[in-house]
Amino acid sequence: MIRNLQTILIFCLFLPGFTSAKEPTPLAFDSVQGDGWWEDAVFYEIFVRSFYDSDGDGIGDLNGIIQKLDYLNDGDPTTQSDLGITGLWLMPIMESPSYHGYDCIDYRKVDGDYGSNEGFQALMQACHQRGIRIILDLMLNHTSSQHPWFQSARSDVNSPYRSWYIWSGVDPGFQGPWGQTVWHSSGNSYYYGIFWSGMPDLNYSNPEVTNEMSAITRFWIEEMGADGLRLDAIRHLIEEGSSLSDTDATHAWLSSYNQGINAFAPTALTVGEIWSDTMDVVPYIQNNELDIAFEFQIATAIIESINSSRPSQWKDALEFALQEYPRHRFGTFITNHDQNRVMTQFGSNTDKAKLAASLLLTMPGTPFIYYGEEIGMTGAKPDELIRTPLHWDDSEQGGFTNGTPWQSLNSDFPDRNIAAQMQDPDSLWSTYRDLVHLRRTLPILRRGALTFIETSSSAVSCFLRHSAIGKDGQAEKMTPVIVVHNFNFRDMSEVSIQAGPGPLKPGTYTLRSKYGSIEAQTLEVAEDGSFAAVVLASNLPTRSTLVIELLRQF
């Protein structure tokens, strides 16, 4: 009964007549028709506190992002001086007592460290003028223990907010999924908080909580103009006894919630964080509870395969995801704000980092780049040390601030910074820039299907990106490409590729390199789509990538 009531409340709250939706600001980039604009996007994850400080207080802010937008995307697709991203994921910007922001005390107010609500709207306008969309972190699972709702609930058992949280007169005794304490003492009672005592979980068996969090969702999308939301920790949303993750109640609630968003903002993106294996994530997408979800299994496999010089783990993870998810409805990444930075995991090996970037930006899914990843910033937990200020140049404080930074910069900023790498065509930054722009130039890399192709070496992977079947049941007409990745720690010579029956139409294809150097000129494809062994290049440098366009001769 309660779950049905939640569904009704969400549906009613989001009915078009409740408030009038604003017309979205026109965006300045072309999108291929398909399931969603995010299929054409490359996102950049920003921890605002560490991106750029515009006022000298040592803390990054929204105005700092505005001042640095030309670095991310200057709005002109013909230039190559910008990174070329078309989406921003802003880590929490709502008012919070903590540096990280994941414990919110006011869901409708931008944290004063970062600016104001008006400042956020100015950022939205500036981004849309450049063809950049913005999604925001939203913490549905919990509030801060300093939130006025919880302060009232904790101090008065008769408070109207008492039932907004989960209480027990005795300690139920069970622990959380990773062995942590989840029941926290408060007076003569215990409250539930899966992450820690400072983040008490909200009680979604209370329809008032559903009502309020749905209204907050509508506020940010409709009134503030956000293009979507990244939903934090949602697999833990609703508990069923000692079952704390991926419960039926969580799935039912999210299904109704996403339907509500689609009713008033059908183009808004919902991205879910379900930190688990693919099989746990897929139901959230198959049941349309989210538009996309982050693919942690692929991310882990990227790093493992590159460190082992064998593509098999990454290949298996990607093939499994392509088999299980509805078409491309997952977000790809290498690392994020909760994980040791990838350059640290690679032992500061730039070739490995370049290969990771190449995998991220040539495979299906919506890619997300963690700020600083494009220049190989390092960092290992605690969390503050994987969220340090961005290195803009080699000046004092790395060009991040003219004050004292909230957290010390990495000691290598004089050598590892944006200004230096932008001037070096062989830098990691240049690799990211080139591949982001290439992905934007070639629709097949964003929306095409993928078929793996046999290679003569187990250390080299090859796949074909080819036209996929659209919603209308027809194949989208896009020029196919072959992508080759050398995972080996040494150069490879005379590596050949060949394919059995497949999706290519028969005929002679002219090979045109779009990334990397090749020697082969043509490819002969048989009636069944197969082709015989061909050597694309006599030498394939260590951890390098080839992207080759196939132009069919008529």
What residues are annotated to the active site? Answer: 232, 273
User: How far is it, in rounded angstroms, from Cα 246 to Cα 293?
Assistant: 14
Return the bridge partners of 453, or none: 462
Q: How far is CA 255 from CA 148, 210, 391, 487, 525, in A?
A: 29, 13, 41, 40, 45
List the structure tokens of 258. 């996403």
d(CA 145, CA 153): 10
Q: How far apart are the first and last CA of the chain?
A: 63
Give the position of tokens 């910074």: 417
Question: Shortest CA distance to 416 belongs to which of 371, 375, 387?
Answer: 375
Instruction: Give the separation between CA 495 and CA 483, rounded to whole angstroms.
Output: 13
Structure tokens, 23: 């017309």
Whole-angstrom Cα distance, residue 451 to residue 462? 9
- Measure the CA–CA gap between 1 and 453, rounded to whole angstroms: 52
**Taking the CA of residue 514 as centre, how many other CA atoms within 13 Å lie in the half-sphere pointing to its CB?**
25
Q: Is the peptide bond before 207 cis (omega within 30 degrees of 0)?
A: no
3-state DSSP assignment of residue 355:
helix
Beta carbons within 10 angstroms of residue 385's beta carbon: 16
Three-class SS of 433-486: HHHHHHHHHCHHHHHCEEEEEEECCCCEEEEEEECCECCCCCECCCCCEEEEEE
Q: What is the spatial distance between Cα 491 and Cα 508, in angstroms, rounded to a whole number?
A: 29
Question: Using CA of residue 210, residue 211, residue 216, residue 220, what is the dihedral sign?
Answer: positive
